[in-house]
Amino acid sequence: MRKVVIAGNWKMHKTQAAAVEFVQQLIPQIEGVPDDRELVLCAPFTSLGSLIDKLQGSRIRVGAQNIHWEKEGAYTGEISGSMLKEIGVRYVVVGHSERRQYFGETDETVNARLKAAQLIGITPILCVGETKQQRDANETEAVITSQVTRALADVNQYNLVIAYEPIWAIGTGDTCAADEANRVIGHIRSLLSNKEVSIQYGGSVKPANVDEIMSQSEIDGALVGGASLEPNSFAALAGYKA
Ligand code: PGA
C-alpha cells in the first residue's frame, strides 16, 4: 500500500520558540485528518529536539533537512545519523535542489546520504527535479532518469520516499500542472523496483491547489515549503479533500 505523506519543509525558518508555538497551534487543528495520512515537519536542526518533546503522543513525525554519510569524524558543521536517531528524528530530506544548487550536493553525495539514513533507520525523502531550461529543452525525463538511477544505486527501496520537485516551481507560485506532475511521477515509478514507494509532488503546493494535486493517481503526497510555515495552512494541506 502506498502511504500518503504530507511533509512541511521549513528550510531555514523558525527559531526553537517559533517551532514550539507552531505545533501548539497545529495540534488541535488536525484532529479530523484521516489517520492513514503521515504528517511530517522537517525543521532546522536547532528545533528538532524541542519539537520531538512537544510532539510526544502526537501523530506528527519530525524530519531533519540533512544527514552526513559518515558515522562520525572531522566534518565540521555536519550532523550524523546517530545524532538524529538518538533524539527521535524519523525522516530526513536528501538532495533538495537548494542543497544541490548552493552547497555542492551531487548525485554521489545524495546516494551516500540516503544509505546513511537507511542504515540508522531514518526514512530519507529523496528530492529530484529539472530546471526550467532543462524542461524547455525537453530534457525532463532524461534528467529525472539520471538523478533517480544515480541516487538510488544500491539503495533499499523499502524505506524511502521520493519527492518530484521541478526547480522552476519551487517558491515561485508557478505550480506544475497536476496532470504533468502526475505524468513525471509515473515515469519515476517506472524506474523503481518497488512500485509501492510513496512519491510526493513539491513546488508551490498550497491549500488552494492541494486537492487537485492529491487527486492524481500517481501522487502520494506533498513536500511543501512556504505554505507549511503557518499552522492554519499546514492543517489545511493535511486535511485536503480526497
Ligand atoms: P515551496 O517549496 O512549497 O515553497 O515551493 C517546496 C520545497 O522546496 O520543498
pLDDT in tens, the chain (242 residues): 899 999 999 999 999 999 999 999 999 999 999 999 999 999 999 999 999 999 999 999 999 999 999 999 999 999 999 999 999 999 999 999 999 999 999 999 999 999 999 999 999 999 999 999 999 999 999 999 999 999 999 999 999 999 999 999 998 888 899 999 999 999 999 999 999 999 999 999 999 999 999 999 999 999 999 999 999 999 999 999 99
If you measure from the C-alpha of residue 203 to the centroid of ligand 1, how many angstroms do you get, rounded to a whole number?
5
Pick the CATH number of 4-238 from 3.40.50.620, 1.10.1200.10, 3.40.50.300, 3.20.20.70: 3.20.20.70
How many angstroms does the Cα of residue 42 sit away from the middle of ligand 1? 12
Give the distance (Å) from ligand 1 centre to CA of residue 207.
13
70 labelled catalytic: no
For cell 487527486, what's the residue?
Answer: 215
Burial class (CB in 10 A: 0-12, 13-18, 19+), 58: middle
* Residues within 6 Å of ligand 1 by CB: 9, 165, 170-171, 202-205, 223-227
Phi and psi, residue 222, nearest 5°: -140, 145
Helix (H, G, I), strand (E, B) or coil at 199: strand
Helix axes 231-238, 207-214, angle to 10 degrees: 20
DSSP 191: T
Pocket probe for ligand 1: among 65, 170, 230, 237, the residue whose CB has the most ligand atoms within 8 Å is: 170
User: Cβ–Cβ contacts within 10 Å for residue 172, how many?
Assistant: 13
Catalytic: 165? yes
Q: Are 161 and 91 in contact (CB under 8 A)?
A: yes
Cell (9 digits) for 11: 528550510
